[in-house]
Amino acid sequence: MRIGYGWDSHEFKSGIPLKIGGVILPHNKGLGGHSDGDVLLHAITDALLGAIAAPDIGSLFSPSEPKWKGADSMIFLQEALKRVGNVGYSLVNLDCTLILARPKIGPHAAAIRARIAELLKVSTDVIGIKAKTPEGMGTENAAIAHVVVLLEKNKPKQSRSKSDKPTTVAAKRS
């Protein structure tokens, strides 16, 4: 088993769509960032990478590289998931907490959960989504995501040859 933790934050900016967990949410501002600013997918990516002791998202997808400007964060998540699989692990569950004043996440939580499950190729019942407001923290103009993942080692696939067939033993009658 491996545990990974990811955290990310982005400031709200006018003139860009708000994308959280791969879902566009109705809001008058989006999250600024070198890519699409998806704070939740960035935190999930870092949690997955951290669980396998891989380089973090900023090392793999440097914000100084122009090719990542405006990139869909799904690309980063897919790379992290591929790396997890390459070292023989799979996702058991993911738990996240979003911290933002607006918009309210409750009405969108099911859509976000479904999209994350689709991207990670898991069922929705292993994805936890919670949202909190930043009361008194002074972060009303930002969105923050905390994510924890649990990974397990994949079981080796067993192939059956002719010699692997189960044998039956007849009971002796006396």
Kindly give the confidence (pLDDT) of every residue in the chain, 174 residues in length, as a single tens digit, with 9 standing for 90 and above.
999 999 999 999 999 999 999 999 999 999 998 899 999 999 999 999 999 999 999 999 988 888 888 889 999 999 999 999 999 999 999 999 999 999 999 999 999 999 999 999 999 999 999 999 998 877 888 999 999 999 999 988 776 655 555 555 555 554
Question: CA of 161: how far to CAs of 9, 68, 153, 166, 169, in Å?
Answer: 53, 48, 25, 11, 20
Supply the pTM of this predicted model: 0.87
Rounded Cα gap, residues 38 and 140, in angstroms: 17
Residue 149 phi/psi, 5-degree rounding, is -125, 150
Tokens representing 150? 């649990």
For the domain spanning 2-157, the CATH number is: 3.30.1330.50
Sketch the domain layout of the chain as residue ranges. Answer: 2-157
